Amino acid sequence: MNQLFVIGDPIAHSKSPLLQNAMLQELGLAETWSYGARQVRGEEIATWLAQAKAGICRGFNATMPHKEHLARLVDQLSPGAAACRSVNTVCIREGRALGFSTDGPGFVQSLTDAQMDPQGGRVVLLGAGGAAKAVALQLAGLDVEEITVCNRNLERAQALCSHAPDKLKPASLNRRGLEEALARCSLLVNCTPLGMAGTGRQFEDLSFLQALPAQGAVCDLVYSPAETMLLARARAEGHRTLNGLGMLLYQGIFALEHFLDQKLDLAQMRRVAEAALAQSE
Ligand code: NAP
């Protein structure tokens, strides 16, 4: 059996085994490939990687708190993973660990599906954590005019922006910073957990949306609930909106492409993964 895993801490909530096993089934590979979840604590990551390289699995996905640590531990980084110093997919090939990051490509593919082309426009990101970094650096590699990274902790936004200073501009996540950034924005992306089910935390005030031009689209990386208060308000004000489900699905599809070392039919895999999620709810 070719074994794959998702590792993290906590990990019990992960939908990755459900999605990946549904796709493996669709591809007729369920007899020879299997995908499970393993709790691996932060301090256990080096031991886990050694076990993986010794052959307990063909590869694994990683979530909190491992992505940045793995970027320093694997034997080789893909250009995308090297750019964002973050790894969410590790393939074991001939005893070597190859690290990839599929979060940024997953986000951009979800934009493509929704016909929200960021090229040539100005983007505003809310947040400067791991997800914001993946999204910012992926967009910085496209023909996007400017990306403003608005964060509560300005220093963290400045650190992120230093990776691509020509394209990325830091700003404070306060009313003035937001209104200035949004004035000529074509795409606003929430990369903070505000609005996510279970956190109990919301944007205190969504009136900053009034500064967004009418044709500006609004994305939320949060996918539970399917429509956050930010997206509901944006939709009510006439903006096109998109939640984080597509990013979740595509980061998994691209990870499976790396594990299998083959291109997959994206539309077919998205249908299968979405159906598996819907059945589980
Ligand atoms: P992270 O590394 O912990 O970063 C969180 C960011 O949110 C930081 O910039 C933080 O600001 C900001 N933030 C947190 N609480 C805040 C508050 N009360 N007010 C203002 N800003 C606040 O988290 P992450 O991994 O980037 O994930 C961020 C979100 O994206 C989560 O909801 C996650 O579920 C979602 N996500 C979705 C996908 C997907 O596939 N759809 C993939 C990855 C992540 P400070 O720096 O000031 O603390």
Angle at 62 between CA 58 and CA 66, to 5 degrees: 125
For the CA of 127, the closest atom of ligand 1 is 9
Indicate if the pLDDT at residue 197 is higher than 90. Answer: no
Distance CA 239, CA 16 (A): 31
Q: How far is the CA of 228 from the centre of ligand 1 (A)?
A: 14
Return mean pLDDT, the chain: 96
Average pLDDT over residues 42-70: 96
Residue 246 has a pLDDT of: 96
- DSSP one-letter code for 7: E
Ligand 1 atom nearest to CA at 126? 9
Q: Is the pLDDT of residue 230 over 90?
A: yes
State the burial class of residue 180 (Cβ atoms within 10 Å of its Cβ: 0-12, 13-18, 19+). Answer: middle
Pocket lining: 192 vs ligand 1, CB cutoff 6 Å: yes
Q: What is the DSSP letter of 54?
A: I
User: b or e along 149-168 (b: 16 or more beta carbons within 10 Å of the residue's beta carbon)?
Assistant: bbbeebebbbebbeeeeebb
Q: What is the pLDDT of residue 128?
A: 95
For the purposes of burial, counting CB atoms within 10 Å of the CB of 278, is it exposed (0-12), middle (13-18) or buried (19 or more)? exposed
- Bridge-partner residues for 242, per DSSP? 219
Active site residue 67: yes
Cα atoms in the 13 Å half-sphere on the side-chain side of 248 = 19
Closest atom of ligand 1 to CA, residue 192? 7
pTM of the model: 0.95
H helical segments located in 32-174: 45-51, 67-73, 79-84, 103-113, 130-140, 154-161
pLDDT at 200 over 90: no
Lateral strand order in the sheet of 146-151 = 168-172, 146-151, 122-126, 187-190, 217-220, 241-242
Please state, in angstroms and rounded to a whole number, the distance separating the CA atoms of residues 172 and 56.
45
- What is the model's pLDDT at position 281? 80
Check pocket membership of 219 for ligand 1, CB cut-off 6 A: no
Active-site hit among 67, 133, 167, 169: 67
Residue bearing the CA closest to ligand 1, atom 14: 192
CB 214 within 8 A of CB 190: no
Q: How far apart are CA 84 and CA 69, in angstroms?
A: 12
Alpha-carbon span 104 to 163, nearest angstrom? 15
Q: How confident is the model at residue 205 (pLDDT cuts 50, 70, 90)?
A: very high
Average pLDDT in the 125-147 region?
95
Q: Could you write out the DSSP letters of every residue in 166-184?
A: TTEEEEESSHHHHHHHHTT
Give yes or no for residue 222 CB within 6 A of ligand 1. Answer: yes
Q: Is 141 in the pocket of ligand 1 (CB under 6 A)?
A: no
CA distances from 155 to 82, 137, 192 (A): 22, 17, 16
User: Is the per-residue pLDDT at 13 higher than 90?
Assistant: no
* Smallest CA separation from ligand 1 atom 28, residue: 192
Atom of ligand 1 nearest to the CA of 106: 40
CB 156 less than 6 A from any atom of ligand 1: yes
Q: What is the pLDDT of residue 139?
A: 96
How remote is the CA of residue 247 from the centroid of ligand 1, in Å?
A: 15
266 Cβ contact partners less than 8 Å away, ≥ 6 residues apart: 109, 250, 253
Ligand 1 centroid distance, CA of 193 (Å): 4
